[in-house]
Chains A and B, each alone.
Chain A
Amino acid sequence: MSDDGMTLLALFQEVDPAAEAVEKLREMGVADERMNVVSGVPFKEEILGRPRVRTHVPMFALGGAIAGFALAVFLIWGVPFLYPLYVGGQPMFPVPPLLVVGFELIMLGMLTATFLGVFVDSRFPSYEPKFYVPEISDGEIAVFFDCPAGMQAKFEKAMQSLGAESVRTVEAQEL
């Protein structure tokens, strides 16, 4: 994340000071892309004053639903077309079974694609070193940001004045 400076971490216990800190960092010249807020519970972007995150998961869901329905059409109508076998008084290309199996496979396709979408969008699984501290899963809110060389003390002072529990430099580490 950083090029010539270093990465600082400001840890906050509550969400209000964290939101103030994000605004203060922006005032002090840190761009939004140079900041990363990591927390143990999800917060809406508006709460922290952060830009909206785009997610592709709903698109995966839609694609999966269409694929599932296509599979259902193949199974119910395509297979009897290729291998016709007659069974007691029912049409060769029945409609009600298509609706039943179609619904199930739409749901299956949609949800497996959604699940895969989470993996693809979040680039799971990834085990390289990352910026993370265990306090995050204890409910604290971590703000990682790039600090140009020489400005460390200034940022530290600013964060601590807003109520940060601790401010320190961090390296990317294995989780």
Chain B
Amino acid sequence: MAATAKPIQSIHAQEAEDDLRENLLFDPRPRSEINSMVMESMQTAGWKFWAVTTFVALFVLVALFGVWIYLILNGMGVTGTDRPIYWGVFLSNTVFWIGISHTGAFVAALLRVIKTNFHHAITRVAEFMAVFGIIQTGLSVFFHLGRVWRSYWLIPFPNERGLWPDFHSPLSWDFMAITTYMIVSGLYLILPLIPDLAMLRDHSTGWRKNLYRILALGFRGTEDEWKHLRAAIKIFSFAMIPIMVSVTTVVSWDFAMATRPGWSSTVFGPFFVVGAFHSGVAALVALLALIRITMKNMKYFIRPETFDSLGKLMLIISMAWAYLYFNDYIVPWYGGTSLDRLLLKFHETGPFAPMFYLMLTFNAVIPWALLWNKKIRRSPWVMFIIGLLIVIGMWFERFLIVPGSLTISANPFTWRIYQISWVEVSLTLGTVAFFALLYLLASRFLPFISPWEVQEGQESHTIRKVGKAGLPSASDID
């Protein structure tokens, strides 16, 4: 009568430990293997990749830069803006790209600061999103300027005109904030990249080796160099969080400082910050799913666990977004002026009403309905679709705020509905294509995964036996 079956508890413990080993950090491989996996993903690209890249590059050339030159030569009349809708899709695109860009740096910084166990493989992709996204923001700002060739007048520098920019204006604060963020996110990308460039230098040959040798700046990995780098990354990570919040808020103040109904709302600061986070995490998830599906060896690094954790974050943020949107809605609904209430009615029953309801569906209903389920969260394909839908929903939200709200002004004689023009559509799609192009080109030169951070994560996380169970344990080895 010997008991041959294993007791239930130890089966569960074994299953739990197997589940744990599905996390990248508990499934370690030698660093040399990680290095070669990353390099292989950078160097293997079939004809399909180059065909797509060429197509995207041509699209960017024509639909972005070609159409932009057409816009400059012909004036803003070729867009859909008019009185009273002086700001159209270009400005809503600006806010959209700021949202996506800022979340990149914010996620990389916040997850490093709170030391999660799933960020090691995703920080590089997030940092790229920050830099590539802010380029699209800058382009969108330049698109909307009537005399863009004079835009350097916003830079405060001593000049023979004796004129400086006006810092009473939220646009000047915007200029300072976006410039700060552009520079800082670029630096935040470069710092953790240096050790990876050293690795690439060691493993490359020919002209690539020369390129990486120059870019790696002579980094070796001595204790001194690591100490300075770690101190800097720590300062950057802590500073990035208030920077993200402040820059997004300053952009929201472009609208909140104006006296238009629907814009002059005190909740815009936090609302835009959370909205940025919402669209950005969704974009990050969609990007990670794409990278996992299309690039070699990425299935080892970007695992269902990553999507699971990011999915939980997406659910919480979508609730926060809905809370702030409701705040922004109920206050004018209850006690706003007649213009405020008319604007709300316009959102619900006007020509943009389908956009309004789709926005609510994509941003709140779909995440709330689906992201509770662990199986859904762990599936990269489904997360890609949910992420994409949220990004589209947030674009709708930005559209409703900028050209949508401008429909109604204090002077009813001038009310008019915005009609988007082909120039604006082309330039919007052009920025998306440019964003994709930058990623496609970067994938050939720079590693999307940071091998030193992955190794660091794997060395500091082990499975420790506590009683009968194997539990995750993290140590601060750096």
List chain A positions with a Cβ less than 8 A from chain B.
15, 36-45, 47-48, 50, 53, 55, 57-58, 61, 75-76, 79, 83, 85, 87, 90, 94, 97, 100-101, 103-105, 107-108, 110-112, 114-115, 117-119, 121-122, 124-128, 130-132, 134, 136-140, 175
Contact = CB atoms under 8 A, between A and B. Distances in A.
10 contacts: A37-B223, A42-B230, A50-B223, A100-B250, A101-B167, A104-B243, A111-B184, A127-B218, A131-B220, A134-B203
Contacts of B35: 137-138
A139 B231 contact: no
Contact of B235 (A76, A114, A121, A122): A114
B264 interface: no
**Of listed B176, B199, B232, B456, residue having the most chain A CB within 10 A:** B232
A100 B176 CA distance: 9
Contacts of B250: 100, 104
B156 A79 contact: yes
Nearest to B242: A107
B221 A137 contact: yes
A61 B242 CA distance: 16
Nearest to A107: B243
B173 A104 contact: yes
Contacts of B222: 36-38
B218 A55 contact: no
Contacts of A104: 173, 176-177, 180, 243, 246-247, 250
A10 to B, nearest CB: 15
Contact of B195 (A40, A44, A61, A126): A40
Nearest to B156: A75
B167 A117 contact: no
Given A41-B455, A111-B239, 9 more contacts: A41-B452, A43-B478, A87-B168, A104-B180, A104-B243, A108-B180, A108-B183, A121-B224, A137-B195
Contact of B478 (A41, A57, A105): A41
B229 interface: yes
A103 B249 CA distance: 12
B63 interface: no
Given A53-B227, A125-B217, A108 B168 contact: no
B229 A130 contact: no
Contacts of B176: 101, 104-105
Interface string B204-235: 00000000011011111111111111111001
**Of listed B216, B223, B236, residue having the most chain A CB within 10 A:** B223
A11 B246 CA distance: 47
B372 interface: no
Interface range on chain B (Cβ under 8 Å from partner): 35 or more
B107 to A, nearest CB: 18
B164 A61 contact: no
Nearest to A43: B477
Contact of A61 (B180, B183, B223, B235): B235
Interface string B438-450: 0000000000000
Contacts of B167: 75-76, 79, 94, 97, 101
Contacts of B179: 108
Contacts of B220: 38, 130-132, 136, 175
Contact of B31 (A15, A75, A139): A139
Given A127-B213, A137-B221, A175-B213, A42 B456 contact: yes
A55 B223 CA distance: 11
B290 interface: no
B235 A111 contact: yes
A131 B218 CA distance: 11
Contact of A138 (B32, B219, B242, B478): B32
B168 A83 contact: no
A105 B178 CA distance: 11
Interface string B116-132: 00000000000000000
Nearest to B227: A53
Contacts of B478: 41-44
Nearest to A97: B167
A140 B459 CA distance: 13
